[in-house]
Amino acid sequence: MIDKIESLRVIPVVAIDNVEDALPLAEALTAGGLPVAEITLRTDAGIAAISKMAELEGFLVGAGTVHSADQAKQVVDAGAKFIVSPGFNPRTVQWCLDHAVPIFPGISSPTDLESAIELGINVVKFFPAEQIGGVKMLKALQGPYGEIRFIPTGGINVDNLGEYLSLPSVVACGGSWMVKPDLIRSKNFEEIQRLTRDAVQSL
């Protein structure tokens, strides 16, 4: 899973309102060169959207904004192949470990990283990336936590993407600039495909 995500380098982070948009969105992302998405549970359509995207062969769908072990079970049952949480919830992490589900829990401090190490997690979400120091903070963490790798998310766009990806500790970056809710709501999948392709070409 880590190798697959690292090969893609960017994970579109999606909040989707209508289930009917899930499959066209997955197809647009795939056509743009990013057959992957983190579907957040910020909307009521999240779990159903995961189910739809999981039907597309070759598409890697994960679940984000997962706050509990119960939610983790629901998204895995729906077809999610990986889980992302905004913070570090030991119970959620432990459920995923017990069920061999890849999880990237959110961290924002050395204390969070100590919790991750304690449970054997070595790839974490760095969130909210730009707001908590961005690339400078990641460089500072690389020293004492050289064994940890990061998926920065929050405030990342095509302009600062390269700076993050240049760090050896960064597996991939999460971003939503190519999948903005207004583009999805207006069913502008052609523009989503273009923005996705631009992101891939910038790597």
Q: Is 125 a catalytic residue?
A: yes
Catalytic residue among 6, 38, 73, 81: 38
Using an 8 Å Cβ cutoff, are 90 and 115 in contact?
yes
CA nearest 31: which of 176, 195, 145? Answer: 195
Cβ neighbours for 29, distance < 8 A, ≥ 6 positions apart:
12, 35, 36, 37, 59, 178, 179, 192, 193, 196
Catalytic residue among 4, 125, 130, 136: 125
CA pair distance 166, 30, nearest whole angstrom: 24
Active-site residue list: 38, 125
